[in-house]
Amino acid sequence: MMRDAKDPRSPPRDPIARSNAPDAFIQPMGAAKLQLKIGGMACSFCVASITKALGRMDGVCDVNVNLAHEETLIQYEPTKVTPARLKETLLDLGYTVRDASQARSSEEEEAELRNQLENLLTAAGFTAVALGAMSLMWLDLLPPQGMAALYWLMPILALSTVFGPGWHILSMAWASLRRGILNQHVLLEFGAFAGIVGGFLGYVLPAFPLPDFLGVAVFVTTYHILSGYVSLLVRTRASQAVRKLLALVPATARVVRDGREEEVPVEDVRPGEWVRVRPGEAIPVDGDVVEGASSVDESLVSGESIPEEKLPGAAVIGGSINQYGTLLVRVTKVGAESFLSQVARQVEEARALKPGILVLVDRVLQVFVPAVLLFAAGAVLAWTLGAWAVTGSADWTRAIFAGLAVLVMGYPCALGMATPLAMIRGGGMAAERGILMRSAEAFQALKDVRWVVLDKTGTLTRGKPAVIEIVALAEHRGYDKRDALRLAASAEAESEHPLARAVVAAAQAQGLPLAKAEDFQAAPGRGITATVEAHRVAVGSPSFVASEGVDMTAASERIRSLQEAGNTVIALAANGELRALFAIADEIKPDAKEAIERLRAAGLEPVMLTGDNARTARAVAQKVGITDYRAEVLPQGKADVVRELQRQGHRVVMVGDGINDAPALMQADVGIAIGAGTDIAIESADVVLVGDRLGAVVDAYFIGKASYRKTVQNLSLAFAFNGIGIPLAATGLVHPVWAMIAMAASVSAVLANSFAGRLLPRLRRPRNSQPVGDIHET
């Protein structure tokens, strides 16, 4: 069914109208907003740490942190807290901060990756030395002098690892702990320092094996650095792959000043100035045409698939694409009032309202971290107060040993690798299918999706006009569709109009030889006349051809039916006689109908949104098999539709490619951008499709589900060793060497599980898909 069609009595629509949704992002009176990019985030626990730390500050009203886009949006009261203080808190937590407007370069990302790799290699070197020395000890191959040296070597290795390559983790753990935040960094440091304390107790208490305790401190720190590096590597490569899809040319405009053109940054353009836009260029500002004529592709901003004719006096929107003519535009809106700026603000609001997704590992850690600390405290109490109550004396040696052993055993080394390894496996499979997964949250959210909202123009369709049908009106004289197409294309060959190019492309696709056109004349926005092989030809809108003295009466009913089917109709006349009609429309992608069938077969319900008119929307929905579609939807309205479905308790995917899709892509639980789309759409998405294959949406869904299953398996393996080892360690009978064995076993098991076996069944098209019900309007 079609919804949200515009009432014909309503005034002309504003493509940037604001939402009146009751849950729209509202800034408290007197509050300011600060948007920052944050470096150093690794997982959703980092998001929780930042949210808690900032949220507890006096004067902070609201905090929203987005892991996939590495940024935060903070609402605060300027009279109580300053932006400098907020940035200082983030820096104190161990993260890097920069303004949201400053793009992060590949060089910065590579520098961070190299720094992490250097830390990993340093820690791995310490681990190799420690493991080699301890192996000789376990095999009883060390002479007495070697054992004495080991008792001095192990403290040096442990302290060097924790306070050297592990210093950054230690700083972040301390910053979190003193704010009452328990996260994976805190858990690591409890385990590492338990090993250090146990090791140094070994100098005075023989019951504490010094090399083993100190060895644990080295190993857990190294494994934590390894898991952080793997996570960073996955995120950096995904980020760089996305950046390659984006245009890196700075936004400029050609401003005409004192009769000369000057290329200046868009932000320096002022209202009232004149800007020249050449064919094929994006219009950089909102304004009115003062000179020239052209067609402008506004599909990326308005959803209208057929280019709009622009003559002097017509309004143009920044972000739309000029087609064939040069335009001189008088600037009417710049800065915050412009269309693109308002879309950017809507994206920001959608980001603030985007539902948070706490990945599985962090949900488990929320319980696991306190449980480890309680077990450690319980072990100490059991062997002190408990032993005193039973035997009349506290066993302090065993209590300390048990408490330290629990903390040592409590850090699951494979934990940090469980999700990244599943991402690497799933991400590799996705990349083979032209899909770039940007975050772990996208993998998890995809498994719960029930609604898939799809933009029409550029997503379900190709986003450019094509000849859909030819109606030859003189077949009784041996005149067929190929003759009509050849004649029309020959006449239109000199035209740069998008509809003319569609006719020429159709003729070229059929291999038709074109004749030379003479006396070519164009009526901008209406049609052309020319002489082709001694025939005086007119091609253009029905009204234009009629104005050339051609009787259109016999074809009026056929024209009306083609237009009602959502087509733009152009007519061909030769020597004053109507010869043919051409139905032109935005061509539907070849795999669109199959993709919709596969979505339904997977239990997903598709919804189509478009800024185009209801007639065109209905025609496209019928052809691809979608029953729920919304026409004439504004950019903010798309985000409202997504939000409406989310309020009903559904996880929602949004698929789009245009500027007008960006707020909805950001609002959705998973935003999927077509890689051939606009920069702002790609930047707003969680998943990017390289190319325009719509079937990749279904592939991404199945890959997300399979990757989540693999993550659950990895986490089960990672926690299994610790879940058994912690209660045993509380007895005070478990030697620290078993913690290292558990680490090696759990990491090996997770590695083997991540890359063993088939991740996905073969993806097939569903057979005998059920027919789609009738489409009707309400």
Strand partners, 654: 453, 671
Residue in 362, 455, 586, 692 annotated catalytic = 455
Q: How far is CA 160 from the centre of its chain?
A: 39
Helices (H), 447-528: 481-492, 498-509
Kindly state the tokens that stand for 629: 């579609």
In whole angstroms, how far apart are CA 522 and each of 46, 328, 459, 519, 537?
A: 62, 20, 33, 10, 12
Residue pointed to by tokens 């250097």: 118
The single residue listed with the structure tokens 């969680």 is: 686
Q: Which residues of 704-730 are buried (b: 16+ CB within 10 A; e: fewer)?
A: bbbbbebbebbbebbbbbbeebbeebb
- Under a CB-based contact definition with an 8 Å cutoff, are residues 441 and 46 in contact? no
Instruction: Give the bridge partners for 296, in sequence order.
Output: 308, 322
If one counts every other C-beta atom within 10 angstroms of the C-beta of residue 84, the result is 8
Contact in structure between 682 and 246 (CB atoms under 8 Å): yes
Torsion of Cα atoms, 490 then 494 then 500 then 505, to 10°: 60
Read off the amino acid at residue 7. D
184 contacts: CB under 8 Å, gap ≥ 6: 43, 45, 224, 365, 369, 415, 416
Going by DSSP bridges, is the β-strand pair 629-630/2-3 parallel, antiparallel, or unpaired?
parallel
Percentage helix, strand, coil for the chain under 3-state DSSP, each rounded to 5: 50, 20, 30
Q: Contact at 8 Å (CB) between 523 and 544? A: yes
Active site residue 612: no
What gap in Å lies between CA 51 and CA 326, rounded to an integer?
A: 50
DSSP string, 195-256: HHHHHHHTTT-TTS-HHHHHHHHHHHHHHHHHHHHHHHHHHHHHHHHHHHHS--SPPEEEEE
Tell me the C-alpha distance between 406 and 401, whole Å: 9
Contacts of 300 (CB under 8 A, 6+ apart): 319, 320, 321, 457, 458, 657, 658, 659, 660, 677, 678
By annotation, the residues acting in catalysis are 455
